[in-house]
Structure 1
Amino acid sequence: MPVIRLRRILGPLGLLVALAATSVPSPVLSPVHSVVLAIGAPAVAESATTRAVAPGSDHVTVAHGTHRWRTVERLVPVRTGTRGEVRIALDTTLYVPGNASRRTPQPAILMTHGFGLTKDSAEVVSTARFLAAHGYVVLTYTSSGFGDSGGCVTLQSTDYDAKSARQLIDKLLEPRADVLHDARGVVVGTIGGSYGGGGQLPLAAQDRRVRTSVVGRTWNDLRYSLDPNNRVVPGDRTGLQHGRNLQGVFKREWTSLFYALGNTQPAMDGGSCPETKVATGDPVEIAGAGGCPGYYLPLCRTYTTLTGTGDADAASRRLIARASAATYLSDVDVPVLLVQGQSDTLFNLNDATATFLELRRRDVPVAMIWNSGGHGGYVSKPGECEAYDGVLRSVREMDRCYLSLRSLRWLDHWLRGTPGGRGPAFSYYRDWVRYAGSGPADEQYGVARSVQSARRSTTFTLSGSNRLVAPGRTPTAGSATFVNPEGGQPAAYTETSNFTGPASSPSLADVPPREVPGQFAAFTSAPFARPFDAVGIPSARLRISNTNGQDLVFFAKAYDVAPSGAARLIHRLIAPVRVPAGAVGEPVRLRLAGFAHRFRPGHRVRLVLSSTDQTSYNATTADVIEVRTGRGSTFTLPGV
């Protein structure tokens, strides 16, 4: 079986096992540019049907992508690196629809792929065909360090990947008479998810030819995504300015998977990192290539430092900031559609919300969709068609799905001037609403003006040793104590990162989260008398302290507790918190991971504070943690 198939079926960890018994030759860059013609089959025309939609939902109509297209493949030389010292070639495919001509030029779309994939992956091919069928010229490419493209993996760094993307626009789109131009140059939109989403906003901040971006399941600040800290630093106006925290809680499982997958690319004929290092002539890179074959050395050093100490040094923070949208948002002024998965433990809803709120604060046109899926084996639900779940879909299928249609409407609005494509500012998937069974799942999406709605939120007060009391009830002063074990083990279990989703590993999907006795405190509300739709980002204010004089580390979680007593961790989400030793003793404000969830009548909400989690780098020194309850210790559940 080809290695590329192993990657798609087994995921990063299974791939490493497969590679142990696989010998793969080193990649060779062909200097020959190939041209391949292909004809896209037109979608079968259907008449739009009038469908009953739930109140407050976002109704979208079925589309009809009928344009044929041809494809042109080419290896394109680019110069990248901090000084332009890296010379590589990128593997590209250009989709040219039949309606694009010198007389009728069409807008262009630029797209790359998720981590470990290529331009030929399902997510890219499905999206490119769909957009070409709707008349867009689509340029897809394999990012540096993967597939038939040269170079090393650089995490969508502005110093590398953004430079490469700009040169692809220069060389493949700018000269074409069949691509729409104006006074600013070629008219380009961008789309992509995960790794393919991470570079879009840094590119838009630097290239005025980019007019709009559709950004899927990706990061706001990579420092937060890989080394998260959900503590709200004083002065943070949104509670989501994650870069204000110097240290976080290293997301060990997820990061280790990506680190391993990136370093195995050369063994899978992916990229040309070792050869590129030799070509640049950097003796340090050449000497370290054996232990860091897929990345440049500073990234490997960052990983080694975090793995060994749990702390990020200043050089690592600066390096990762160069690959973070948050660093460049002040220069982004193009309309942005954000699409983020509710079950995503790699890039959670807080990532997208941080971007949404900052752009909205600056009056940049922005909208956000919280869909059902996410990284780790969560395939989108029927009628959604999230492009990044690994499923190859036809144009006809995507013409009838909510997420693909919302993206198309957005692009049409901002690139073609088609009215009505902005949609609601905020929409979110409601798993408690039944899908009609055909067409877009729009009835399952609720809408709101913004993700924050304080008037609909409920603030509970921590009471006694284990209760949450509702507004208007008198809390009891008290405390709850739990311990952090020496070495941070044994640890609570919430998921096996990348392998707990039902499409990734059905057996692991059935393994429930579990807490370690003595290592957590739990506070539970009274039963809800009527349904409570919690949509947004929960928050807490805790009077919490520890005894060992070091940084205080804990994980905050929200559970749904059924009348039977069975407790379910909502989307397996956790919010790591790290309080600097100098700030311990002061009230701690924090944001939990966002979600959209209905608490049914008779169900209760439970706030759990745990000292450990198997996914993360836990505090290694034994500790005793105390939470004081009563007035001043609160938990806020957002509502719509």
Structure 2
Amino acid sequence: MDVTRPLPGTGDTHPLIVLLHGFGNDKHEWESTSDAADGADKYHWNTHWFAAHGYYVLTYTARGFRDNGPQASYQPATPPGAAPTCLPPGGSACPPTGTIRVKNKDVEIRDTQWLAALTALAYPDISPDQVAVSGGSYGGGESWLQAAAQAGSEYWSDWPGLPRLRLQVAVPKYPWTDLAYALMPNGHPGGPSQAAAGEPYRGSDLYSSAQGAPDTVGVGNPIGVAKSSYVGGLYSLGTANGVFDEGSLSPQSNGPEPFTAWLARVDAGEPYSTPGRVDDSTMSQLRTAFSGWHSAYYQPGWRTGRDAGRTPAILSVSGWTDDLFPPVESFRMFTYLKSLDRNWPVAVVVGDIGHARAQNPPGVWQAINEQAWRFLQANIAGSRPASTTASSYPTRCTGAATAADAISAGSPAALAKGTLVVDFKGSVLLPPTSGATDPDAAVTDAVAGGTITSTSAGCRTSARLATSPSDGYTAVSQPLPTEQTLVGISHAEARYAATPGAFTAVLTARVWDVSPDGAALLVSRGVYRFDFTGYDARSGIVQVPLYGNHWTFPAGHRVRLDFAQVDQPTYRPPNPAFTAALDLSATRLVLPVRQQANTTIR
């Protein structure tokens, strides 16, 4: 644990900000000897910047992870720390203190609150009513949970004998808010709240896709499709740089969380439930734990805070090209909190940033951090009602976006002013293994694709001709008569009929921008899992939500749609023995666009 003190001459009392590291990282991630740090994500958002502006900064290594010391040239040489029985300090054989609980609200969330209170005790010039949290990825998911904790209680940190603290601002970066959905998206839209009689939750749309409805523990939609490359990669990273908990009962209140056993069950695949929508015991345990104890979306504190007038300010930053935690993780919370209180001070910023495939342009990060700094300063002395916005920066393969390219609107959906419908009217029969030999599967994967030298970080090029069908379904539109700028969550749509008897089916979708010379660039992707045990009818119309993007299709370019059941290694392929073939027809794309017109092409 490190505490960076404010520079002299910055006042007599000081705010406190806690900067939380990402999965597999440590306390050094946000530490810097300069304001610039890495020039991007950490630019003007690090210990040096905040201390120079009068803040105390708390950074610590989360339980379960080893502290490997500074890794970047701009990080100060603070001690790496070690477990109490670790000799020599920081040695590679040293076990970490505690075990990884993946931000369980009874464990890591309380760790942060306790350490913040200890910091306030050690430094009495910290203002107890001026506390903020921020962090990326693992720290972003926690930042949302910390805001939920403050909404639900008068004091954010309330430990006997320690100063009571109030959290005013959270700035989550590339976070999750529904961990079950983020790691295993099902593609089903958000549903109405089961609480709040007479006050319907306005989230039944693709901007609120979730594992279930708020006020539940993730109940309402079927188990989704595992993001295999990311789930496996994160588990490997956790075991290499830490120790997962494997079923401890203390101090969490939801029972044991055996992470390795859960992973084995996910790897085994379908069927996850039996007729009547009854999950098997392990999947039920995983669904409940990841929703109720690890995800901000399901916390009851939001309604408690609304009723008590506690509405902490939140600026959530997400990435259009982030395949791990896409923008829906921020969008669903914006929609939900604004449904509770239209003046809840919650804002969203989206760009080509975050986890891979994102390019993370430095200029975009610098503009976002400037916006985040203004937001923090406006609310650190006390969050207050506000008509906040959603802002977006475009994704570009050449010529990075700048601050001047940002657009904003009153909600994520309102960023678009019109609709482009690409009506392919195609049909295909997709067997359970369709897509297994697709040459684009590895290229488009966020993890594996980064090792293929023919691809750049955020702009993946198709490995096959745009007009040649592969193992699955491919359709290409006529050339666009005018420029069209996609901005928001689009969806691929089809009429479907599933063959009898099977429990499940999967529909993966990819959208490409095809230039006149035939080169195709990946624009977006998505997945939908059918569960015929009571969630999905065996025939009807399916809408597959895509992750979204802010992307300009030039005039003369064409739009390509791919459908398959297998998109490996990005998603775990369905078990063929339990999977129905899908007879698709009337295929089309519905793209929200910035242009003020509704256009249909074929």
Q: Deviations over 1:385-406 (max 9, x none)?
A: 4xxxxxxxxxxxxxxx212211
The residue that corresponds to 2:328 in the other structure is 350
Residues 297 and 358 of structure 1: CA distance in aligned 2, closer, same or farther (over 3 Å)? closer
* Mapped pair 1:173 → 2:127: no
Deviation of the 1:348 alpha carbon: 0.9
Deviation of 1:565 (Å): 2.6
Is the partner of 1:242 in helix, strand or coil? coil
Please give the alpha-carbon distance, in whole angstroms, between the structure 1 residues aligned to 2:326 and 2:31.
Answer: 20
C-alpha distance 602-299 of structure 1, shift in aligned 2 (>3 A): same
Give the corresponding residue for 1:50: none
| Preserved contact between residue 415 and residue 488 of structure 2 (Cα < 8 Å) | no
Alignment of 1:212-291 (within 5 A): 212-232=169-189, 237-239=204-206, 240-244=208-212, 245-265=221-241, 270=242
The residue that corresponds to 1:539 in the other structure is 491
| 2:286 alignment partner in structure 1 | 316
Select which of 445, 455, 458 maps to 2:406.
445
Structure 1 window deviating more from structure 2 (327-336 vs 148-157): it is 327-336
Q: Name the SS for the 1:232 alignment partner.
A: coil
Deviations 1:335-356 (A, max 9, x none): 1101112221111112121122
Deviation at 1:139, TM superposition (A): 0.9
Greater CA drift, 195-204 or 543-552: 543-552
TM-score normalised by the chain length of structure 1: 0.69
Show the counterpart of 1:560: 513
Change in Cα spacing, 1:100 to 1:241, as seen in structure 2 (3 Å) is farther
Q: Does 1:585 align with 2:539?
A: yes
Aligned-residue offset at 1:517 = 4.9
In the alignment, which residue of structure 2 is the partner of 1:473? Answer: none
* 1:639 is aligned to 2:593: yes
Secondary structure (helix, strand or coil) at the match of 1:481 reads strand
Q: In the alignment, what sits opposite 1:481?
A: 429
Compared CA separation, residues 159 and 132, structure 1 to 2 (3 A): same
- Confirm or deny: 8 A CA contact 2:130 2:381 kept in the other structure: no
Give 1:197's aligned residue: 140
Provide closer, same or farther for how the CA distance between residues 441 and 537 of structure 1 changes in structure 2, counting only shifts above 3 A.
same
Give the CA deviation at 1:519: 3.3
Q: Which amino acid aligns with 1:404?
A: N
Q: Tell me which amino acid in the other structure corresponds to 2:380.
A: L
C-alpha distance 210-280 of structure 1, shift in aligned 2 (>3 A): closer
2:377 to 412, 418, 440: 412
Say which SS state the counterpart of residue 126 (structure 2) adopts: coil
Aligned residues: 486
2:549 — aligned with what? 595
The equivalent residue for 1:337 is: 315
Q: 1:273 to 1:520 in 2, by over 3 A?
A: closer
Deviations 1:501-527 (A, max 9, x none): 4xx775554874458955322343332
Amino acid at match of 2:119: L
Question: What is the Cα deviation at residue 444 of structure 1?
Answer: 2.7
Distance 1:454 1:349, change over 3 A: closer
1:299 is matched with which residue?
A: 259
1:90-105 aligned within 5 A: 92-99=1-8, 104-105=12-13
| 1:495 has 2:444 as partner | yes
Q: Which residue in the other structure is 2:363 paired with?
A: 383
Partner of 1:58: none
Residue 266 of structure 2: SS of its match in structure 1?
helix
Contact 1:435 1:444 in 2 (8 A): no
The CA distance in 2 between the partners of 1:628 and 1:315, in whole Å, is 37
CA distance in 1, matches of 2:399, 2:423: 37
Deviation, 1:537, is 0.4
Instruction: Measure how far apart 1:232 and its partner are.
Output: 2.6
- Where 1:248 maps in the other structure, the secondary structure is coil
| Residue-by-residue CA offset, 1:229-271 (whole Å, 9 max, x unaligned) | 1133665523324113221111111001111111223xxxx47
The Cα offsets for residues 418-473 of structure 1, whole Å up to 9 and x where unpaired, read as: 99x9896122112459979xxx93113222232113972325263442xxxxxxxx
> Counterpart of 2:4 in structure 1: which amino acid?
Y
2:54 matched residue in structure 1: 135
Query: In structure 2, how many angstroms separate the alpha carbons of the residues matched to 1:368 and 1:454?
Result: 12
Corresponding letter in the other structure for 1:522 = T
How far off its partner does 1:177 sit?
2.0
Alpha carbons of structure 1 residues 454 and 495: separation in structure 2 relative to 1, 3 Å: closer
- Once the two structures are TM-superposed, the CA of residue 124 in structure 1 deviates from its matched residue by 7.5
2:392 equivalent to 1:428: yes
Runs of 5+ consecutive residues of structure 2 not aligned to the other structure: 38-45, 68-81, 83-95, 151-155, 157-165, 193-202, 213-220, 273-281, 306-310, 595-602
Secondary structure in 2 aligned to 1:359?
helix
Contact 2:7 2:54 in 1 (8 A): yes
Indicate yes or no: 2:131 matched with 1:188: yes
Q: Does 2:367 correspond to 1:402?
A: yes
Q: Secondary structure at the residue paired with 2:413?
A: coil
Q: Is 2:144–2:177's contact at 8 Å kept on the other side of the alignment? A: no
Tell me the alpha carbon deviations over residues 30-87 of structure 1, each in whole angstroms, 9 at most, x when there is no partner: xxxxxxxxxxxxxxxxxxxxxxxxxxxxxxxxxxxxxxxxxxxxxxxxxxxxxxxxxx
Of the structure 1 ranges 505-514 and 554-563, higher mean CA displacement relative to structure 2 is found in: 505-514
Moved more, 255-264 or 227-236: 227-236
- Structure 1 position 493, deviation (Å): 3.5
Note closer, same or farther for the CA distance 1:234–1:242 as it changes in structure 2 (3 Å cut): closer
| Aligned partners of 1:430 and 1:445 also within 8 Å | yes
TM-score, scaled to structure 2: 0.73
Which amino acid is the alignment partner of residue 324 of structure 1?
Answer: S
**Measured at CA, do residues 599 and 507 of structure 1 come closer, stay the same or move farther in structure 2, by a change above 3 Å?**
closer
Structure 1 Cα separation of the partners of residues 231 and 422 of structure 2: 36
- Change in Cα spacing, 1:134 to 1:558, as seen in structure 2 (3 Å) is same
**RMSD between aligned alpha carbons?**
3.4
3-state SS in 2 of match to 1:192? strand
Q: Secondary structure at the match of 1:132?
A: helix
Distance 2:111 2:567 in 1: 39
